[in-house]
Chain A
Amino acid sequence: MRVTFTVNGREQQADDVWEGESLLYVLRERMGLPGSKNACEQGECGSCTVRLDGVPVCACLVAAGQAEGREVVTVEGLAGDGLSAVQQAFVDAGAVQCGFCTPGLLVAADDLLERCPWPMSPSDADIREGLSGNLCRCTGYEKILDAVRLAAARRGEGA
């Protein structure tokens, strides 16, 4: 079957997609967007987190056909001219180690901060809940929490 949906603002199409094929597979293997990572393939680890019509989902658990006509944002779509605030905060706070969980965490953090616009500030509990679906095997959670706090705090600068 053919699927057509918008990825990072651009309409994309894939042909000969098998009915059981995941959105993650189509993004990585058919659309040349390997930023979303394939790890557990069962929605446990969050490495494949993308936003589907704004909602964070595990792309490994979404059938490609379910994305038909909808909008997908992956880690490749976060940066504008430069890094987005949350991407820059991850680099600055030392929240990137092996980096395999990073794309999923960035998408989850991006959603969290969007749901909590300045001057609201996410509490530590909010951050932990927002990122609870993303596992880091390097166990670098403290720096990851720091990065989200930093991104949230920086929104106030120059405002």
Chain B
Amino acid sequence: MSDVTRIPTSLTQGSQTAGGIGESKLRPDGTLKVTGEFAYSSDLWHEDMVWGHTLRSPYAHAEIVAVDTSAALAQAGVYAVLTYDDLPAAQKNYGLEIADTPALAAGRVRHHGEPVALVAADRKSVV
């Protein structure tokens, strides 16, 4: 291995004054991220945690005639199956400017992959 090796670009750009405008700052979470310690949501673990899964619409646009959660709830290890009706009033809809997107589909799905129901179970294999 030889050939050309480019010199690393200057680590500081702009102002050479400490604390000045343009000074390169180190990321506050940089060290945690290079050691693997930074916990992303999929890295979180708790002794008594349950596993969650989202049931999503296989249709681009369809009316939801009925949702029957009884068979899912009857399975061993299933703690909860939630649909739109189970959501608290303040969490039923969301949106950046206007809260008009249902958190779970209500009566109608409007895109492929729209969340319809949530399942929580004690093992990943169950959900």
Residues of A with Cβ closer than 8 Å to B?
Answer: 28, 32-38, 74-76, 78-79, 83, 87-88, 90-94, 96, 99-100, 102-103, 106, 115-116, 120-126, 146, 149-150, 152-153
Contact = CB atoms under 8 A, between A and B. Distances in A.
B97 interface: no
Interface residues of B, number: 27
B16 interface: no
B8 A90 contact: no
A93 B26 CA distance: 9
Contacts of A124: 3-6
A146 B8 contact: yes
Given A92-B26, A123-B2, A38 B34 contact: no
The 9 closest A-B CB pairs, nearest first, are: A35-B36, A99-B33, A123-B3, A34-B43, A75-B36, A87-B34, A91-B30, A150-B8, A149-B8
Contacts of A76: 35-36
Interface of B: 1-9, 11, 24, 26-27, 29-31, 33-40, 42-43, 45
B7 A102 contact: no
B65 to A, nearest CB: 34
Contacts of B31: 83, 91
Given A74-B36, A87-B34, A91-B34, A149 B5 contact: yes
